[in-house]
Amino acid sequence: MSPEMINLIANSTGETLYMVAVAALIATAFGLPLGVFLATSGKGELFAAPWVNRVMGVIVNATRSTPFIILVVAIIPFTRLIAGTSIGTNAAIVPLTIAATPFIARLIEGAIREVDQGLIEAARAFGATPIQIVRKVLIPEALPGIVLGLTLAVVSLLGFSAMVGAVGGGGLGDLGIRYGYQRFMPEMMLAVVVVLIVLVQAVQSIGDRLARHLNKRIRHA
Amino acid sequence: MNAHLGYLGDQHAQRLVPAETIVRLEKASKTFPGRDGQPVTALQDIDLTVPQGSILGVIGRSGAGKSTLIRLVNGLEKPSSGKVIVDGADIAALPEGALRHARRSIGMIFQHFNLLSSRTAAQYIALPLEVAGYDKAEIRTRVEELLALVGLTDKRNRYPSELSGGQKQRVGIARALATKPKVLLSDEATSALDPETTRSILDLLARINDELGLTILLITHEMAVIRNIAREVAVIEGGRIVEQGDVFEVFTRPHHEVTRSFLADESGRALPPYVQNRLTPEATPGSQAVIRIGFRGPHATDPVLSRLARDLNIETNILSGSVDEIAGRPFGTLVVGVPEQSLAVTLDFLNQHGLDTEVLGHVA
CB A116 to CB B114 under 8 A? yes
Is residue B243 within 8 Å of residue B254, measured between CB atoms? yes
Out of B103, B118, B159, whose CB is closest to A126? Answer: B103
Q: Could you give the CA distance from residue B277 to residue B260 in angstroms, rounded to a whole number?
A: 19
Q: Could you give the CA distance from residue B107 to residue B86 in angstroms, rounded to a whole number?
A: 12
What is the H or E stretch that residue B346 is in?
A: helix B343-352
Out of A125, A137, A219, whose CB is closest to B108? Answer: A125
CB proximity list for B9: less than 8 A, separation 6 or greater: B16
Q: Which residues of chain B are within 8 Å of residue A122 when distances are taken between CB atoms?
A: 108, 110, 114
Is residue B181 within 8 Å of residue B214, measured between CB atoms? yes
Q: A60 — phi, psi (to 5°)?
A: -60, -45
Q: Could you give the CA distance from residue B248 to residue B328 in angstroms, rounded to a whole number?
A: 9
Residue A8: burial class (beta carbons within 10 Å; 0-12, 13-18, 19+) = middle
pLDDT tens, residue by residue, B104-132: 999 999 999 999 999 999 999 999 999 99
Residues paired with residue B243 on neighbouring β-strands, in sequence order: B235
CB A125 to CB B101 under 8 A? no
Is residue A192 within 8 Å of residue A175, measured between CB atoms? yes
Q: Which pLDDT does position A220 carry in this prediction?
A: 56
B268: confidence class by pLDDT, cuts 50, 70, 90: low
Q: Could you give the CA distance from residue B83 to residue B78 in angstroms, rounded to a whole number?
A: 9
CB B130 to CB A217 under 8 A? no
- Mean pLDDT of all residues belonging to chain B: 89
**A199: pLDDT strictly greater than 90:** yes
**pTM for the full model?**
0.87
pLDDT tens, residue by residue, A15-39: 999 999 999 999 999 999 999 999 9
**B221: pLDDT strictly greater than 70:** yes
Q: Could you give the CA distance from residue A137 to residue A46 in angstroms, rounded to a whole number?
A: 12
- Mean pLDDT of all residues belonging to chain A: 93
Q: Could you give the CA distance from residue A80 to residue A98 in angstroms, rounded to a whole number?
A: 14
The per-type count for chain B, helices as H runs and strands as E runs, is 13, 14
Q: Which residues of chain B are within 8 Å of residue A219 when distances are taken between CB atoms?
A: 161-162
- Whole-Å CA distances, A40 to A59, B56, B126, B299: 17, 35, 25, 60
Name the range with the highest mean pLDDT among B298-302, B303-307, B338-342: B338-342
Using an 8 Å CB-CB cutoff, list residues of chain A that contact chain B. 116, 118-119, 121-129, 132, 136-137, 140-141, 143, 214-219
Residue of A46, A47, A126 to mutate when probing chain B, most B C-beta within 10 A = A126
Mean pLDDT in residue range B219-235: 93
**Least confidently predicted of A74-83, A205-214, B285-294:** B285-294
pLDDT tens, residue by residue, B127-165: 999 999 999 999 999 999 999 999 999 999 999 999 999
CA B329 to chain centre: 15
- Max Cα distance, chain A (Å): 67
Q: Could you give the CA distance from residue A102 to residue A144 in angstroms, rounded to a whole number?
A: 19
Is residue B217 within 8 Å of residue B185, measured between CB atoms? yes
Count of beta carbons in the 10 Å neighbourhood of residue B1: 5
**B8: pLDDT strictly greater than 70:** no
Out of B106, B112, B161, whose CB is closest to A219? Answer: B161
**B1: pLDDT strictly greater than 50:** no
Residue A64 Cα, gap to closest chain B Cα (Å): 32
Residue B118 Cα, gap to closest chain A Cα (Å): 6
B327: confidence class by pLDDT, cuts 50, 70, 90: confident
B11: confidence class by pLDDT, cuts 50, 70, 90: very low
Q: Look at residue B171 and give its three-state secondary structure.
A: helix
Q: Which pLDDT does position B16 carry in this prediction?
A: 47
Q: Could you give the CA distance from residue B299 to residue B358 in angstroms, rounded to a whole number?
A: 17
Got the DSSP string for A110-137?
A: HHHHTS-HHHHHHHHHTT--HHHIIIII
Q: Which pLDDT does position B122 carry in this prediction?
A: 98
Nearest CA in chain B to A141: B118
Residue of B118, B169, B182 to mutate when probing chain A, most A C-beta within 10 A = B118
Alpha helix (H) residue ranges in chain A: 3-40, 50-65, 68-74, 76-83, 89-113, 117-125, 130-132, 139-164, 171-175, 186-214
CB B130 to CB A143 under 8 A? no
Nearest CA in chain A to B73: A125
B2: confidence class by pLDDT, cuts 50, 70, 90: very low
CB B108 to CB A128 under 8 A? no
CB A127 to CB B108 under 8 A? no
CB proximity list for B169: less than 8 A, separation 6 or greater: B109, B113, B189, B190, B193, B197, B201
CB A136 to CB B100 under 8 A? no
Mean pLDDT in residue range B284-306: 81
Residue A137 Cα, gap to closest chain B Cα (Å): 7
CB B110 to CB A216 under 8 A? no
CA dihedral B293, B296, B301, B307 (to 10 degrees): -50
**B13: pLDDT strictly greater than 60:** no
Is residue A154 within 8 Å of residue A20, measured between CB atoms? yes
pLDDT tens, residue by residue, B184-216: 999 999 999 999 999 999 999 999 999 999 999
B65: confidence class by pLDDT, cuts 50, 70, 90: very high
B287: confidence class by pLDDT, cuts 50, 70, 90: confident
Is residue B266 within 8 Å of residue B279, measured between CB atoms? no
Q: How many CB pairs under 8 A join A and B?
A: 72
Using an 8 Å CB-CB cutoff, list residues of chain B that contact chain A. 74, 76, 100-104, 106-108, 110, 112, 114, 116-119, 127-128, 130-132, 159-162, 175-176, 178-179, 185
Burial code (b: 16+ CB inside 10 Å, e: under 16) for A56-71 equals bbeebeebeebebeeb
Length of chain A counted residue by residue = 221
Mean pLDDT in residue range B28-44: 89
